[in-house]
Amino acid sequence: MKRLALVITIGLLALVAATAQSRRPAGTTHTGKAFRFNQVKPGIYHAVGTGSLAVVGNSSFIVNDDDVIVVDDHVSPAAAWVLLEEIKTVTNKPVRTVINTHFHFDHAHGNQIFDPTVQIIGHEFTRRMLLSNSIGMPLYQNYLTGMPAQIEGLKKQIASATDGAAKAKLQTQLQVTENNLASQKELKPTPPNITLTNQLTLFRGGREIQIRFLGRGHTAGDVVVYLPNEKVVMTGDFLTAALSNMSDSFPNEWADSLDALKKLDFDTVLPGHGEAFTDKAKIDYFQAYIRDVWTEVSRLKKQGVSAEEASKRADLTKHKDHLPIQGPGVPLIGVQRIYSLLDEKP
């Protein structure tokens, strides 16, 4: 009898824990749809934010015979929650699997809203980073600590706005930022509960879903999600529609890792930022850019130029026809990364 009582108590505790996990997070209020779903192949969607809620990175989702797989879950518990709500307008099948392409805040900070029975898959490095102090790193800290000033600035602009439409737009931006900050306050970085180092393949009915590590690049543990039958690849920030953040990157290895991506047979790319695309030349453009960033910044360092100065001077304007480059300069966080990699070299 005692044992039965214990089993029931444990069962109830598990239920309470699961319920707590699925409580609606703060900051989910928004007007209109938060996502635009772009169905690139039957059952394969790219989810891009509309601006009514802070989501930052893109996600993708795959509707299978019996379940749904989500790739990346955005910048906050609120954004992931709303994604799940909007997925319900497409299918009532349950999300049983989440894949993190990498550990960065705009791709993995929704992990905590999932029930513990949901499989969250990522590279071993992604797990390690989400278990360590990834939110103490400058990339996220700069983002988070900038928010209160952003809110104050928007309030001032609203107070002095005279045009009705402009004022309404600013008010939306304010609501979006305040909601994001409210959700960040509830953040509990949650690591993948299934990891891989090289490749893991899921089979769902007729679908084959390969999760592949192709070498270091954007981080030490980015994975791509490759559907060989549908010829679709989800690339996170390993390959975006434009430029990627370099804060944790290996710019001297990235282009070679992208060569491994080129060997896969696909016709559609769903990137972590920007729209889905089919033009594979974008890979060549980014490879050329990243190789030149490494060469140019290394050259400046060798001349004794400070990272701050190199960030202004590094000239990559020859890539401006294919990438959003207005003038000389490379983001400081990327230059600092290259400087520290060069310092590490024996």
Q: What is the DSSP string of 16-66?
A: HHHHHHTSPPTT---SS-SEEEEEEETTEEEEEE-SSS---S-EEEEE-SS
Q: Report if residue 25 touches Zn ion, rule: CB under 5 A.
A: no
CB of 57 to Zn ion, least distance (A): 4
Out of 106, 178, 230, 296, the only residue in the binding site for Zn ion (CB under 5 A) is 106
CB of 309 to Zn ion, least distance (A): 27
- Window 108 to 167, contacts with Zn ion (CB under 5 A): none
Cα-flanking dihedrals φ and ψ of residue 279, to 5°?
-80, 100
For residues 79-113, one letter each, b for 16 or more C-beta atoms within 10 angstroms of the residue's C-beta and e for the rest, the string is: bbbbbbebbeeeeeeebbbbbbbbbbbbbbbbbbb
**Stretch touching Zn ion by CB under 5 A, among 114-122, 170-178, 230-238, 280-288:** 230-238
Number of residues located near Zn ion, criterion CB under 5 A: 4
CB of 273 to Zn ion, least distance (A): 6
CB of 22 to Zn ion, least distance (A): 26
Cα-flanking dihedrals φ and ψ of residue 39, to 5°?
-85, 105
Closer CB to Zn ion, residue 77 or residue 272? 272
CB of 224 to Zn ion, least distance (A): 14
- Window 33 to 72, contacts with Zn ion (CB under 5 A): 57
For residues 291-306, one letter each, b for 16 or more C-beta atoms within 10 angstroms of the residue's C-beta and e for the rest, the string is: ebbbebbbebbeeebe
**Rounded Cα gap, residues 186 and 188, in angstroms:** 7
Q: Report if residue 230 touches Zn ion, rule: CB under 5 A.
A: no
**Rounded Cα gap, residues 267 and 275, in angstroms:** 14
**Stretch touching Zn ion by CB under 5 A, among 20-28, 90-98, 266-274, 276-284:** 266-274
CB of 240 to Zn ion, least distance (A): 7
Q: Report if residue 237 touches Zn ion, rule: CB under 5 A.
A: yes
Contact assessment for residue 240 and residue 218, using Cβ atoms and an 8 Å cutoff: no
Closer CB to Zn ion, residue 59 or residue 64? 59
**Stretch touching Zn ion by CB under 5 A, among 131-139, 196-204, 269-277, 302-310:** 269-277
Closer CB to Zn ion, residue 73 or residue 106? 106
Question: Going by DSSP bridges, is the β-strand pair 232-236/68-71 parallel, antiparallel, or unpaired?
Answer: unpaired
Closer CB to Zn ion, residue 219 or residue 311? 219
- Window 209 to 228, contacts with Zn ion (CB under 5 A): none
Neighbouring C-beta atoms of residue 14, cutoff 10 Å: 11
What residues line the site for Zn ion (CB under 5 A)? 57, 106, 237, 272
